[in-house]
Amino acid sequence: MVENSLADTERELRPRTAPQIALNEIAQAIGAQSSRDVDGVVASGICLNSRAIQPGDLYAALPGAKRHGADFASQAVAAGAVAILTDHDAAARLENEGSLPAGTPVLVAQDPRYAAGIAAKFLYGTTPDAPAMFGVTGTNGKTTTTYFLRSLLGAMGHKTGLIGTIEIVADEEVIPSVLTTPEATQLHGILARMRESGVTAAAMEVSSHAIEYRRIEGLNFKVAGFTNLTQDHLDLHGTMEDYFATKARLFTPEFASRGVVLIDSEWGERLAQVARDAGLPVVTLSTASAAGAVTADWTVTAVERSGLGHDFTLTHRDGETVRAHTGLPGDFNVANAALALTMIIAADVMPLEKLQQLLDAHDPLSANVPGRMEVVGHAPAAIVDFAHNPDAMVRALEAVRPGTEGRVIVVFGATGERDQAKRPIMGAIAARGADVVIITDDDPHDEDEQTIRTAVLEGTTNEALSMGAAAPEVFEIFPRAQAIKEAVRLATPADTILVAGRGHEVWQEVKGVNLPLDDRVELREALAARHDGGIDHTSVGETAPESPDNGTAE
Ligand SMILES: CC(=O)N[C@H]1[C@@H](OP(=O)(O)OP(=O)(O)OC[C@H]2O[C@@H](n3ccc(=O)[nH]c3=O)[C@H](O)[C@@H]2O)O[C@H](CO)[C@@H](O)[C@@H]1O[C@H](C)C(=O)N[C@@H](C)C(=O)N[C@H](CCC(=O)O)C(=O)O
Ligand SMILES: Nc1ncnc2c1ncn2[C@@H]1O[C@H](COP(=O)(O)OP(=O)(O)OP(=O)(O)O)[C@@H](O)[C@H]1O
């Protein structure tokens, strides 16, 4: 079952017409040595997972954190791989073990992870401008900014592509997404598929995992954009310095032709400098809220609330201006919209006057972004957002406060296994930003749910203790669907419910099992039940959650 689905997924990330490339040409392109004569051997794809191999593939057997891909080389060959690409040690081991069918060619590269990306580039024929690539990195805002970019590119007349957390889109075709940034071998395949569909420009999220695991090898972005850097993924990077250094690798001429850096934070200022030092042309951007001593190339000015979103002006240091609007709630969406717009301006493909006409005519920066400040209901206002790290949590809570006459009720949890340090921090942020805090489960993965909730709860209760009368009410309620129901039950029409952390996600992973769970569906159903009259309007404080499973802590 799993084998099938992985192979099926892999097929969707390839061109419909497979290339036929001589293995010795690939070996030459990556500077690999071959264990035997490969004349006449042809590869039609490349894959780094034995379980996703398509017949005719070159299997890239990579050293991993848990296993070495060479352990699965014979499975890959059994599935149809025509050759193996790996490192010296693994190649020697395979030779000694004699586990491969006689005659299977093994290409040997010093760094097979790097070589796999370059081989994929060669095999699928990736070139820098077909499609023109706009890459976005940063802790938060990547998905939103890429949706804005795609919308802008579409308004400009491009056939567009999108690669990111929610989905991969090649013109009209939508392919489900597994990773935020797919593997290098898949990325080059996706770009080939986009070319088949006539896609001329694409927006792509670049996660820090992708940079660390060399998934962007062989790509060159027309423009790379940076949103921000705040605490997340320290399980992978160890320190913020390392996290920063990883992000900075995207902003070098190897991977980009130009960078647009939001310099609202010190990390942004540093990145602009580091990128320039690396020889990359950099355009800087700052939002009005953080206007300080630094003068950016473009500054966001005249920000005004407009419906749920904002109107704003982008002003160049030379005085040129562009007026824009985003319909998405939250100051941070002004930053995301301004970044997308500045990336288009930096690409230097359209006069500002023409761009202004497109902005006025199409409102491209109001594109719907699934699970990002997605408004699911009114009175009480009910919003689902993907905020799942400290900074995003602060921003999401700040975004809902101004429009809320009553109380802000937040429902959230923390993911299992990943960055554990952020749990109490997010708990404390919720205490400061909400009037009612409901702590529940996110994706526990293999970890004990209670342990995760306790860590979050500790942050909330400790913070609440120091807040005196301003302390929020705090509940621990699970499972998540029940927590959402309780939030709706507790809310008055003047309140806002923010369900944070899972956004567009439709599965909750509990100990290897994917349980169907969509916050938007749960919230809509709970609101519908309430509007049907099935709701108890008992005021907060007079009631405790009903489920016998649920604890309450204040
Ligand atoms: C932590 C992380 O990113 N790990 C990546 C890393 O895995 P690893 O080094 O542990 O690999 P391993 O399990 O030891 O296996 C070694 C090799 O054997 C291969 N293998 C393994 C088993 C098998 O049966 N057959 C087989 O061929 C694997 O494909 C791999 O190439 O290298 C693998 C490919 O070589 C990646 O697939 C894997 O990403 C996994 C799938 C993953 O879940 N990554 C997530 C955390 C991720 O990348 N997330 C970011 C977004 C993060 C965010 O913003 O929240 C993303 O871009 O999606
Ligand atoms: N520019 C921003 N600054 C801070 N927080 C933001 C910003 N943009 C969005 N957010 C918050 O972060 C959440 C995730 O936004 P988005 O999906 O656009 O970012 P992302 O970088 O793609 O996140 P991830 O990599 O975790 O998928 C949003 O739901 C919102 O709460």
For a pocket test of ligand 2, which of 137, 142, 144 has the largest count of ligand atoms closer than 8 A to its C-beta?
144
Task: Answer yes or no: is the C-beta of 385 below 6 A from any ligand 2 atom.
Answer: yes
The confidence score (pLDDT) of residue 237 equals 61
Atom of ligand 2 nearest to the CA of 336: 1
CA distance 176 to 280: 33
Q: What are phi and psi of 429, to 5 degrees?
A: -60, -40
**Three-state secondary structure call for residue 529:** helix
Q: Is 141 labelled a binding residue? A: yes
pLDDT digits (tens, 9 = 90+) for 135-188: 999 999 999 999 999 999 999 999 999 999 999 999 999 999 989 999 999 999
Stronger pLDDT, 1 or 278, i.e. the higher one: 278
Are the C-beta atoms of 305 and 281 separated by less than 8 Å? no
Out of 227-241, 321-335, 337-351, the most confident range is 337-351
CA distance 31 to 282: 32
- State ipTM: 0.96
Q: Which ligand is nearest to the CA of 339?
A: 2
Per DSSP, 41 falls in state -
Per DSSP, 200 falls in state -
CA–centroid distance, residue 531 to ligand 1 (Å) = 45
**Three-state secondary structure call for residue 25:** helix
CA–centroid distance, residue 213 to ligand 2 (Å) = 22
CA distance 494 to 114: 55
Residue nearest to atom 11 of ligand 2 (CA): 392
The confidence score (pLDDT) of residue 160 equals 98
Q: Is 48 labelled a binding residue? A: yes
The confidence score (pLDDT) of residue 289 equals 53
Q: How confident is the model at residue 119 (pLDDT cuts 50, 70, 90)?
A: very high
Task: Answer yes or no: is the C-beta of 210 below 6 A from any ligand 1 atom.
Answer: yes
Spatial neighbors of 265 by CB under 8 A, at least 6 apart, are 228, 229, 230, 290
The confidence score (pLDDT) of residue 235 equals 67
Across-strand partners of 46? Answer: 58
CA–centroid distance, residue 64 to ligand 1 (Å) = 8
Only one residue has tokens 């957390």, namely 165
Residue nearest to atom 5 of ligand 2 (CA): 392
**Three-state secondary structure call for residue 464:** helix
The confidence score (pLDDT) of residue 531 equals 64
CA–centroid distance, residue 332 to ligand 1 (Å) = 31
Domains and CATH numbers, the chain: 2-122 (3.40.1390.10), 126-366 (3.40.1190.10), 374-531 (3.90.190.20)
**Three-state secondary structure call for residue 281:** coil
In the chain, what percentage of residues exceed pLDDT 70?
A: 92
Task: Answer yes or no: is the C-beta of 144 below 6 A from any ligand 2 atom.
Answer: yes
Task: Answer yes or no: is the C-beta of 213 below 6 A from any ligand 1 atom.
Answer: yes
Does the pLDDT of residue 537 top 80, yes or no?
no
Task: Answer yes or no: is the C-beta of 432 below 6 A from any ligand 2 atom.
Answer: no
Atom of ligand 2 nearest to the CA of 205: 22
Q: Which of 397, 383, 437 is nearest to 413 (CA)?
A: 437
Does the pLDDT of residue 67 top 60, yes or no?
yes
Task: Answer yes or no: is the C-beta of 140 below 6 A from any ligand 2 atom.
Answer: yes
Task: Answer yes or no: is the C-beta of 51 below 6 A from any ligand 1 atom.
Answer: yes
Task: Answer yes or no: is the C-beta of 165 below 6 A from any ligand 2 atom.
Answer: yes
Task: Answer yes or no: is the C-beta of 2 below 6 A from any ligand 1 atom.
Answer: no
CA distance 380 to 367: 24
Task: Answer yes or no: is the C-beta of 49 below 6 A from any ligand 1 atom.
Answer: yes
Mean pLDDT lowest for which of 26-30, 327-331, 379-383, 441-445?
A: 327-331
In the chain, what percentage of residues exceed pLDDT 90?
A: 81
Q: Which of 9, 8, 42 is nearest to 24 (CA)?
A: 42
Mean pLDDT lowest for which of 63-72, 221-230, 254-263, 396-405?
A: 396-405
- Helices of type H across 169-237: 184-196, 208-212, 234-237
CA–centroid distance, residue 379 to ligand 2 (Å) = 25
Only one residue has tokens 């240091």, namely 317
Q: Is 207 labelled a binding residue? A: yes
Atom of ligand 1 nearest to the CA of 205: 57
Q: Is 514 labelled a binding residue? A: no
Q: Is 191 labelled a binding residue? A: no
Task: Answer yes or no: is the C-beta of 143 below 6 A from any ligand 2 atom.
Answer: yes
Q: Which ligand is nearest to the CA of 10?
A: 1
Q: Which of 20, 40, 38, 15 is nearest to 28 (CA)?
A: 38
Q: CA separation (Å) from 407 to 110, 134, 433, 491, 540? A: 59, 40, 10, 8, 10
Task: Answer yes or no: is the C-beta of 362 below 6 A from any ligand 1 atom.
Answer: no
Task: Answer yes or no: is the C-beta of 500 below 6 A from any ligand 1 atom.
Answer: no
CA–centroid distance, residue 398 to ligand 2 (Å) = 14
